[in-house]
A and B are shown apart, each in its own frame.
Chain A
Amino acid sequence: MYNINLKNDVFSRILIAFKKGMSKMAFKLHGVNVPHRKNTANMPPVRMNIPKTVTLPMSMHIGAPANPIVKVGDHVDVGTLVAEAVGAVSSPVYASVSGTVKGISDILLSNGNTVPAVTIESDGEMTVDSKITPPTINSREDLINAIRLSGIVGLGGAGFPTYVKFGGDKPLDIEELIVNGAECEPYITSDSVTMTESAEDISYALDMLTKYLNINKVIIGIEKNKPEAIKSMEKVAETREKVSVKVLPSMYPQGGEKVIVYHTTGKKIPNGGLPINVGCVVSNSSTVAAIGKYLKTGMPLVERCITVDGGAVKEPKNVIAPIGTSLNDVFEFCGGFKQEVGKVLYGGPMMGIAVPDTSVPVLKNTNAVIALTEKEAKLPEPTPCIKCGACVNHCPFGINPAAIAKAYKNDDIEGMEKAGATLCMECGCCSFICPTNRPLVQTNKLAKLAIRNAKVKEAK
C-alpha cells in the first residue's frame, strides 16, 4: 500500500499516533473493578508457631494422588519424603514438621474427592532431614527432575505440577515465560510480599530456568497497585537481559492465564488450548520463588506464605505456615475471630472455595484463607434478569452468560456452546456485576459439565 518515507510529516505522525492508540484500545480485555482490600500489602510474612499436628492430603495437585510410603509410628523430619509421585502427572509430599506419623486415613477435600491423608504429630523440634542438600544442576534433565522432586505445584491456586508445565521429559520451545504476579483477587497479598521479600529466590530461579530451559524471554506481569513488588522485580530485571517487568492495570481477572498472556504478549490462546500452544508458559511468582528456594537449599515445598484476612479475622497477616496446618491454628495465630464467622475460603472471594469447617489443612496451592463475617457471607437474593447486558459487557472473553443460562434451562447444548460456555474460565465477573444477582458463572459451570456429558454420550 502507501509507503510514506517522510518520517516527520504531520500525516504519518497522526497515523502512528492513531495506530498506537488503536492498539492500546484493542489491547485490553474487559473485566470488573473488584474492591482491593489489600490490608496486608505492607506486612512481610511472619512464621507461625509450630502446629501440634499437620494433615497432609495425598492430592494437593492436579493429577494422580501421591502414594504414602510411611507407616504409622514412623519418625519423620522436616523435608522427609512422606509420599511419592505416581505416574506422569503427580507430585510428591514431604513432612512439614518433625515428629511421628499418627495415622493415614481418608479425608474429604473441598472439591468433593476423598483421598488418604497422612497425619503427623509434631515433636516441636522442627529438626531438618539430614538428607537435604542443594541439587546439582548440569542439564535440562537435572533441572526438571529437581523441580519434580521439590514437590512444587502451581502455588497460585491451580496446583498443576510445575515440572509438567515446563514440559516434563519433553523439551519445549518457550518463547515467553510469564511470571504471574497480577494477584487481582481482593485481600490476597501473598504473591506480592513474596516478590518483595524473596526477590533473590525469584532471580536465582529465573537464571536457572533461562539457562537450562529453552526460554527466549521472561515477562513479569504485576498489577500497578503493587508498587513495592514492581520496584523489587524491576531490580531483578535490570541486570538480566531476558527479563522484563510489565505493569498491568488493576483489573479483575488480570491474573487469569489467557488474560495475562494476552496483556503481556498480545497472543490469543485458542479455545481449549494451553499457553504453550502460543509458545508461552505462565507460572505464578510464588511458584518461581519456591523453585529458587529449592534449587538453593534443597528444602522441598513444606511451607508457604498465605494471606489470612477477611472481616472476621482479628489481626490480618501474611503467615508462613507449614503445609498441612489446620486453618484453626492459622486463625488462632492471627488473634482468632472478632466476629461470628459466616464463610471461610481457600483463596480469594472471587474464585475461592468455601470450606465446610475450619479444621481443614493448608494445602500447597492455598494462597490465602479468608474468613468472612456472617454479614459479608450473605449475598442478595436473585431477582428477574433485566437484560442490562452487564454480564456480556464485563466478560473478558465476550461470553454471553445470560444466553448460556437460558440455553441451559432449555437443555440446548448447541445454544450453550454458541454463547461461549466452553471458553469460560469461571472468573465470576458476570455474577459479581449482575444487578439482579443471577447465578451466572454458577450456571456456566453446569453448562460446561452438560456439554462435556453430551460429548461423552455422543462418542458412545
Chain B
Amino acid sequence: MDTKLHLSVSPHIHCGNSTSKVMLDVIIALLPATVAGVIIFGFSSIGVIAVTVLAAMISEFIFNKIVKKKQTVGDLSAVVTGLLLALNLPANIPLWQAAVGAVFAIIIVKCLFGGIGNNLVNPAITARVFMLVAFGSMTKAAFPIDSASSATPLVELAEGKAVSLTDLFLGNIGGAIGETCALALLIGGIYLLVRKVITWQIPLCFIGTVFVLSLLLEGFDFSLALSQILSGGLFIGAFFMATDYVTSPSTPWGKVIFGIGAGIVTVLIRFYGNYPEGVSFAILLMNVLNPYIEKWTPRKLFGGEKK
C-alpha cells in the first residue's frame, strides 16, 4: 500500500456547522420581517434593502482586497449586517444615506477592528446610531402607505396617546422597515431559537425587563406596558441585534445580565431620555460592557478545585 495517508491530531470529524450556515439561518429568520416591511412600507423599502446589502458586501470585498486579507464576503456576515441595517432604516431614507450607513458599519465598525469576530460593537446597531446622530434619519420615520398617523408609536406613547395593540403587533405603524411587525420578528426569533442559533436568555431577559419596568412606571397598566414592548426596535433588537455572538456574552449567566442591563437602559432612555427610542443605545452600551460581563460570568470548572 503506497497511498499517502492524512495525519492530524484528533478529532477527525466535524459537526459540519460553519459561519456561513449560521449567517444563512439569521437571514432566513429575517425574511418574515423583510417581507412584512415591504408589504407595510411599499416597494421603496426594497431599494433600501438592496442598497445596504450591496454596499456592505462590496465594501467588505474591497477592504479585504486592499489590506490583502483572506476574502470573507462568502461567510454572509456582511449580508446580515446590510440586511439588519436596512430593516433599521425608514423606507423613505435617501439611498445615498443608506449606502453611507452600510459602508460605515462594515469599514469603520467591523473591518478596521480586525474583521469578523473582532468588532467591539454590533456594526448594524452602531451604524443606526451614527445615522441617527448624523442625518437625523430616525426622526423622519416612514409611515405605512395608508396610515393617517404622523408620529411613531413611541412618540405617541410619550405624548400620552393610545396606540392600537393589534396595529403594533402586526406592524401597521410608523417606524423603520423591519422593526414594526412584532409578529414577523417573533416568527424569526422562534426560528433562531429552534435552530439553536441563539438561546432564550438575551431576548427573554431584555424584553421581560422592559415589560416589568414599564409595568411599574406605567402604574400597572398592562396594555401600556404591552405597547412598550411591541413598539420601537425592541423585538428586532432583542432577537437579532443583542444576540450577535461577537458582541454579547457566551455564557448563560452573562446573557442574563446582558439582557437585563439592556432592558434597564432602554426603559431609562424611553421614559427619561431625550430620544423616544433607547434600544440601539442600550445594546451599544451593553456591547461595550460585554468583555467585562464575560469576565464576571465564567462557567464553573468541573472538579476545578485543586486537591
Q: A186 and B19 in contact (CB under 8 A), knowing A273-B307, A385-B117, A398-B299?
A: no
B5–A341 touching, CB < 8 Å: yes
A22 at the interface (CB under 8 A from B): no
B6–A398 touching, CB < 8 Å: no
Binary A-proximity of B99-136 (CB < 8 A = 1, otherwise 0): 00000000000000001111000000000000000000
Least distance between B16 CB and chain A CB atoms (Å)? 8
Chain B residue, CB-CB nearest to A340: B3
Partner among A262, A353, A357 whose Cβ is within 8 Å of the Cβ of B5: A357
Least distance between A306 CB and chain B CB atoms (Å)? 17
Least distance between B29 CB and chain A CB atoms (Å)? 16
B36-44, B175-183, B245-253, B266-274: which lies at the interface: B245-253
- Most chain-B Cβ atoms within 10 A of its Cβ — which of A345, A359, A400? A400
B161 at the interface (CB under 8 A from A): no
A344 at the interface (CB under 8 A from B): yes
A270–B306 touching, CB < 8 Å: yes
B298 at the interface (CB under 8 A from A): yes
Chain B residue, CB-CB nearest to A341: B3
A246 at the interface (CB under 8 A from B): no
Least distance between B115 CB and chain A CB atoms (Å)? 6
B166 at the interface (CB under 8 A from A): no
A383–B19 touching, CB < 8 Å: yes
Q: A351 and B307 in contact (CB under 8 A), knowing A386-B246, A389-B245?
A: no
Chain A residue, CB-CB nearest to B300: A398
Q: Of residues 116 to 171 in B, which have CB atoms within 8 Å of A's CB atoms?
A: 116-118
Least distance between B276 CB and chain A CB atoms (Å)? 32
Partner among B15, B21, B301 whose Cβ is within 8 Å of the Cβ of A397: B301
B250–A351 touching, CB < 8 Å: no
User: Is chain A's interface secondary structure helix, strand, loop, or mixed overall?
Assistant: loop
A354–B8 touching, CB < 8 Å: yes
A354–B5 touching, CB < 8 Å: yes
Q: Of residues 288 to 306 in B, which have CB atoms within 8 Å of A's CB atoms?
A: 298-306
Chain B residue, CB-CB nearest to A327: B1
Q: Of residues 228 to 246 in B, which have CB atoms within 8 Å of A's CB atoms?
A: 245-246
A93 to B158, CA, bound (A): 84
Q: Of residues 2 to 40 in A, which have CB atoms within 8 Å of B's CB atoms?
A: 29, 32, 34-35
B12 at the interface (CB under 8 A from A): yes
A273 to B302, CA, bound (A): 12
Least distance between A196 CB and chain B CB atoms (Å)? 26
B11–A350 touching, CB < 8 Å: yes
A328 to B10, CA, bound (A): 22
Partner among B9, B14, B303, B306 whose Cβ is within 8 Å of the Cβ of A258: B303
A45 at the interface (CB under 8 A from B): no
Q: A386 and B245 in contact (CB under 8 A), knowing A271-B304, A420-B304?
A: yes
Chain A residue, CB-CB nearest to B18: A435
A273 to B117, CA, bound (A): 36
Least distance between A61 CB and chain B CB atoms (Å)? 20
Q: Which residues of A contact B298 (CB under 8 A)?
A: 398, 400
B72 at the interface (CB under 8 A from A): yes
Q: Which residues of B contact A272 (CB under 8 A)?
A: 306-307
B245–A445 touching, CB < 8 Å: no
A379 to B19, CA, bound (A): 15
Interface size on A, residues (CB 8 A): 68
Q: Which residues of B contact A441 (CB under 8 A)?
A: 9-11
B6–A445 touching, CB < 8 Å: no
A168 to B19, CA, bound (A): 51
Q: A380 and B14 in contact (CB under 8 A), knowing A268-B302, A387-B246, A389-B251?
A: yes
A384 to B18, CA, bound (A): 11
Least distance between A10 CB and chain B CB atoms (Å)? 29
Partner among B11, B118, B249 whose Cβ is within 8 Å of the Cβ of A428: B11
Q: Of residues 240 to 278 in A, which have CB atoms within 8 Å of B's CB atoms?
A: 258, 262, 268-273, 277
A377 at the interface (CB under 8 A from B): yes
User: Is chain B's interface secondary structure helix, strand, loop, or mixed overall?
Assistant: loop
Question: For chains A and B in complex, what number of residue pairs have CB atoms within 8 angstroms?
Answer: 164
Which range holds the interface residue count of chain B? 35 or more
Partner among A29, A349, A392, A397 whose Cβ is within 8 Å of the Cβ of B10: A349
B305–A271 touching, CB < 8 Å: yes
B13 at the interface (CB under 8 A from A): yes
A355 at the interface (CB under 8 A from B): yes
B12–A372 touching, CB < 8 Å: yes
A355–B5 touching, CB < 8 Å: yes
Least distance between A252 CB and chain B CB atoms (Å)? 10
Partner among B12, B15, B22, B303 whose Cβ is within 8 Å of the Cβ of A345: B12
Chain B residue, CB-CB nearest to A352: B10
B19–A436 touching, CB < 8 Å: yes
Q: Which residues of B contact A356 (CB under 8 A)?
A: 5, 7
Q: Of residues 304 to 358 in A, which have CB atoms within 8 Å of B's CB atoms?
A: 328, 340-345, 349-358
Least distance between A303 CB and chain B CB atoms (Å)? 23
Least distance between B2 CB and chain A CB atoms (Å)? 8
Chain B residue, CB-CB nearest to A402: B250
- Most chain-B Cβ atoms within 10 A of its Cβ — which of A277, A344, A383? A383
Q: A384 and B72 in contact (CB under 8 A), knowing A435-B19, A435-B22?
A: yes
Least distance between B73 CB and chain A CB atoms (Å)? 12
A359 to B3, CA, bound (A): 12
A57 to B298, CA, bound (A): 45
A358 to B13, CA, bound (A): 20
Chain B residue, CB-CB nearest to A430: B11
Chain A residue, CB-CB nearest to B197: A388
A32 to B307, CA, bound (A): 28
Chain B residue, CB-CB nearest to A268: B303
Q: Which residues of A contact B19 (CB under 8 A)?
A: 383, 386, 435-436
Q: Which residues of B contact A163 (CB under 8 A)?
A: none
A48 at the interface (CB under 8 A from B): no
A161 at the interface (CB under 8 A from B): no
Q: Of residues 54 to 75 in B, which have CB atoms within 8 Å of A's CB atoms?
A: 72, 75
Partner among A378, A387, A445 whose Cβ is within 8 Å of the Cβ of B9: A445
Interface residues in chain B, defined as those with a beta carbon under 8 Å from any beta carbon in chain A: 1, 3, 5-15, 17-19, 21-22, 72, 75, 77, 115-118, 245-246, 249-252, 298-307
A sample of 25 inter-chain contacts (CB < 8 A) reads: A186-B13, A258-B302, A270-B303, A270-B307, A272-B307, A341-B5, A342-B6, A343-B5, A349-B13, A351-B10, A351-B11, A352-B10, A354-B5, A354-B6, A354-B10, A356-B7, A383-B75, A387-B250, A393-B251, A398-B301, A398-B304, A423-B303, A428-B10, A439-B9, A441-B9
Top 4 A-B pairs ranked by shortest CB distance?
A389-B250, A428-B11, A398-B299, A397-B302
